[in-house]
Structure 1
Amino acid sequence: MEGRTGTFWPGGQKQPSGPFKTELQKQVNQIFSEIDKKIPKITFTHIDNTTKAHNSKAFIIDRKDKYCVGDSLIVQVDMFDNLGKQKTFGGDLITARIFSPEIKAGASGKVEDLKNGSYHVHFAFFWEGTVQISILLIHPSEGVSALWQARNKGYGYVAYTGRFVNQTIEAKVTCGFEPNRKLELCEYSDVKEEEYFYCERPMNMPCGSLVQMRSAFVDSHSYLNEMEKRLFNRSNIRVEIPKMFDYISVSHCNKSMNNEKKKCSPGMKYNYPSGYFYQNMWNHFSCNVSRYRSMNDINECIKGKIIYLTGDSTMIQWLTYITNNVKSLKEFILYDDKNWAMAHLFIDTEKNIKIEFRKHGNPFVIVTFYMFKEFTIPHQIDQILGNQNTVFVFTLGMHFRLFPIKHYIRRLLNIRRAIENLHLRSPETKVVVKAENTRKMNKRVEMHSDFHGYLQYSIMMDIFQGLNIILVDAWDMTIAIASEKTHPDEEVIANEVDLLLSSLC
């Protein structure tokens, strides 16, 4: 990432003169346009006209007297507003799951928007027993519309501060994706990825003296009007939709599920839902998931491997889980600073294991100063020669929720290009993608809403389609187990790592 002086256009991307657009810009704009067409554009004048979960209802279509393991079920959801009037258009954000607490089982349901105020939720039964159903209204369609329009208005949710050091002189200045063109600026550009970032140039200091960055939430900033903000009170988020039925009794019925599963491997076809929990163990529909719950089992799997972990604090959870369980892995202290966002390196010289963690690159939101000049995921992949013992694992999403969606789309397209090139030079190198998970939404809903997460999850699944990669579907898993934590419990992490290692060994 280069630092130099110049005058620039706002918006996080240089604009070419005239009508010319690069191929990457065309791709980004096309994907954005396709998404924009699917999201409702609603201008509402009163909160009474918005979807209300408590007034809505869910009922079973063509209910049978008996359900067996392997059967399917469709629940229809009819939405009503605060005045009790039935909605006539779709766009509400809904999540659904079946679960049996006594056996610690759970699975996601697939929501079909009928575009007329009604929805079909498709479930399948994977275990015997008493099964409960939960359908949650995350946001009404009016909230979805407001969040979509707000997100793409700019970069105002985050304030960047750059720290420059030149011998004994230090300066802290404003940085960001939208430069003030009236000032002399330093540009930190990535021409190949078409990403640009700027800092005000400190007086009498070179642009190359930027050493650290800090990025803080701007809680005073909002793109929502006062009426729209009322949609995101905690009492209006993740609200249970009343059901016109109780539990479902599921019997075995001597029916056998198809248990012939292949080994987990790259390039598998992925569907939603992708699996289910039973006795707190994740069962994948397409492959056998082995359990790696001891030091010996994990060690045997990763012996002789170089594993690159890249992402955010949810990837640090994977690193922590593995290194806590494998005591033979020793950390090589790279910095005195204990900031989790710094690079981490663990090695086992006897078993020839190397595990390395790095951030996924800017945008990254953390209130403490951190190293800024670390490469983004595409550049990290480009630096790997690769072989049968190399594994590249990454996640990205949480930190992108606060920025216009085109930024995320562009990064994903660049990652796809880098993976394709990696597999040209090294087809045997394994690439593992951890989808982002659901998160808590007690505050900063406008910035962090799971609507942004769902949108990014959907875009990622489309852009990465056809790649020879391994997917750990954390989105599906956290909905199935009803996790509402930014950092899921260890039982979720253990199952994610099980799927990761089952794909490697």
Structure 2
Amino acid sequence: MVSFRCLKYAAIFVFLAVFVFILAHFNMDVLESPCQIQHKVNFSCPVPRLHLQLLSNDDALEERLLLDSIAWPETPSLSASLSLEQTTDPAHSRFTILPEKGGQQWHVGDQLEVMIKMYDFHGRPKKSGGDVLLARLHNQALGAGVAGKVLDLLNGSYSAVFSLLWEGSAQVEVTLVHPSEAVTVLQRLTREQPDRVYFRSVFRTGSVSESTICNVFLRPTQQPLCNYTDINTGEPWFCYKPKSLSCDARIDHSTGGIKPKLNGKENTLFKRGVNLKVSIKASGLTSVNVLPKMKEVKSSSVKSGPSGYYYKDEWRAIGDTTVSRFSTSSAIGQCLKGKTVHLYGDSTVRQWFECLTAALPDLKEFDLHSSRQVGPFMALDNANNILVTFHCHGPPIRFTGVPAMALHSIANEVDRVVGGINTVVVFGIWAHFSTFPTELYIRRLQNIRRAVVRLLERAPGTLVVIRTANPKAMTPFVALTMSDWYAMQLDKVLRIMFKGLNVHLVDAWEMVLAHHLPHDLHPPPPIIKNMINVLLSYICPQKRS
């Protein structure tokens, strides 16, 4: 009787052990090849799926709230009957400057409101929202400019509000980036073609080399996958396994190409000079004359508005930060004396490294035998004890010829920083995430934020500065992969996620939008110089009298 009972329990334990082994084996396969598993069990996987680490309840809740906070107004579906003539036409659309309640007089410290009404190509008013608009107020003669805030009224009308911050003429400029119908296309591309930007890696052992496609998303094939998911952060990355080489033989990372697929009707929504980043004309006045500030108006009235503005081509912050002018090498060097500055991110952050090394003759760059696009870079002024470094962020990143060993997570890099009152950590990460679902970007920022929190806990004096996204020049091709609409969404997420932490923003979005120079992914030198002034003003704040 006893032996039978033991045999029965032994059989149960064996069954449970086999079940656990099968479950664990299945989960390992899912980690390595989520779509491939679906393929094996005969499920369809027409769209590559994003495989991410499981979230804690708090992170999952934050993700849902963030996605809700950036939810775009509903945009028109592209039915077979929809024609270009029914979509938003900037040539027919108009903006109107609204008069002040007491008449058409404006003073420094007031707010100017503009109403924007959108029409289609037949001149018929649009009835729904969802268009992508940018607005700025400027006076080129004064070198003055400020970004406006656009509010979608969801009925084909929009409101743009500007803070009046200088005396004299102030001219309104409104730009349609995309009609609402184009947003429908951009949303579809992200949903159905998240792999439209793809990457390659070379694998080499001895004289044998192979190249395979890599991505966060890989469509199901019979080819097994190599799993390069970061073991610390869970940030996912996969490559198709080479036919004759091991996964350990991977030596580099490069952009493979871009292959967005549109139909003929969708192509008409991304035409330069027609409906892609086109100015909207005024119905009536295009500018107002701003009078001196009235005595009873307090400067605090504009605190909820923009982060700053240009005057005489110099950026002036609104709020607690005073932006100083570091106009000489001596002034920059004195500010950075004894400092270590670590820069992490993409090519828009690399611009800052290039600007600092160009501005400081004694800051000598070491030859690390790295490419000028990729880095890493290190520059040292031994006499003044200044160290500046740059590391690109890990994949997805559209650089070419990045050594596999140089693909580092920003979160992991920040965890290696000792920190302290003489350490500055700067990062900017946004442009290379535009073709992927926002969830991927949220997870990346959650990892970086955790690393920043750990850094500030162990070394509270460390200065952390974040470079935000910025508008860029738009071509039809660029619009499908790096649209300002994508950048706008990611920028909102970043600002929300780091709000309340002891970090500082360099508001690249407003600094590019408010300037008179054309938008560019890599802003021109006058704008970069103003960004560096903001950075240095955080490092060496002006003493208040």
Mark yes or no: TM-score above 0.5. yes
CA deviation string 1:181-217 (max 9, x = no partner): 5222211012443322122222443322211011133
Q: How far 1:113 sits from its partner (Å)?
A: 1.3
SS in structure 2 at match of 1:231: coil
Alignment of 1:56 with 2:93, yes or no, is: yes
Contact 1:363 1:400 in 2 (8 A): yes
Asked whether the 8 Å contact 2:163–2:306 carries over to 1, the reply is: no
2:417 maps to 1:384: yes
Using CA pairs below 8 Å that are at least 6 residues apart, which structure has the higher relative contact order? 1
Distance apart, 1:9 and its partner CA: 0.6
- TM-aligned CA distance change 1:468 to 1:172, over 3 Å: same
Q: Equivalent residue of 2:95, what SS? A: strand
Shift of 1:324: 0.6
Q: Distance in 1 between matches of 2:536 and 2:463?
A: 11
CA distance in 1, matches of 2:286, 2:238: 57
1:46 has 2:69 as partner: no
1:427 to 454, 460, 463: 460
Question: 3-state DSSP class of the match of 2:188?
Answer: helix
Q: Tell me how far apart the structure 1 counterparts of residues 352 and 221 of structure 2 sit (CA, whole Å).
A: 42
Change (3 A) 1:171 1:257: farther
User: Is the alpha carbon distance of 1:409 and 1:128 closer, same or farther for their aligned partners in structure 2, counting shifts above 3 Å?
Assistant: same
The one of 490, 496, 502 equivalent to 2:531 is 496
Per the TM alignment, residue 226 of structure 1 is displaced from its structure 2 partner at its CA by: 2.3
Structure 1 position 145, deviation (Å): 2.4
Return the alpha-carbon distance in structure 2 between the equivalents of residues 315 and 271 of structure 1.
Answer: 27
Kindly indicate whether residue 192 of structure 2 is the aligned counterpart of residue 178 of structure 1. no
- Larger fraction in helix: 2
Q: After alignment, is 89-98 or 412-421 more displaced?
A: 412-421
Which of 140, 153, 159 pairs up with 1:120? 159
Q: Deviations over 1:287-331 (max 9, x none)?
A: 210011211111111111111011111112111111111000011
SS of 1:418's partner is helix
**Deviation (angstroms), 1:345:** 0.4
Aligned to 2:234: 194
- TM-score for the superposition, normalised by structure 2: 0.84
| Cα RMSD, aligned residues only | 2.4
- Residue 533 of structure 2 aligns to a residue whose secondary structure is helix
**Amino acid paired to 2:355:** Y
User: Are the equivalent residues in 2 in contact too, given 1:55–1:84 (CA < 8 A)?
Assistant: yes
Matched, 1:417 2:417: no
Identity of aligned residues (%): 31
**Greater strand share, structure number:** 1
Note if 1:8 corresponds to 2:33. Answer: yes
- State the partner residue of 1:290: 324
Unaligned runs of 5+ in 1: 261-268
Query: What is the match of residue 356 of structure 2?
Result: 322
2: CA distance, partners of 1:72 / 1:272: 9
Structure with bigger gyration radius: 2
In structure 2, the CA distance between the partners of 1:210 and 1:142, relative to structure 1 (3 Å rule), is same
SS in structure 2 opposite 1:190?
A: coil
In the alignment, the residues of structure 1 paired with residue 394 and residue 386 of structure 2 have an alpha-carbon distance, to the nearest angstrom, of 25
Distance in 2 of aligned mates of 1:12 and 1:272 = 40
Contact 1:173-1:200 within 8 A present in 2 as well: yes
Counterpart selection for 2:268 from 222, 230, 252: 230
Flag the 1:383–1:257 CA change in 2: closer, same or farther, 3 A: farther
TM-score by structure 1 length? 0.90
The answer on 1:209 being equivalent to 2:252 is no
> Contact (CA 8 Å) 2:70, 2:493: kept in 1 or not?
no
| Residue number in structure 2 paired with 1:97 | 136
CA–CA distance in structure 1, aligned partners of residues 149 and 331 of structure 2: 35
Residue by residue, what CA displacement relative to the aligned partner does 1:221-277 show, whole Å, maximum 9, x if unpaired? Answer: 32x4321221111121122222121321112256498679xxxxxxxx995521110
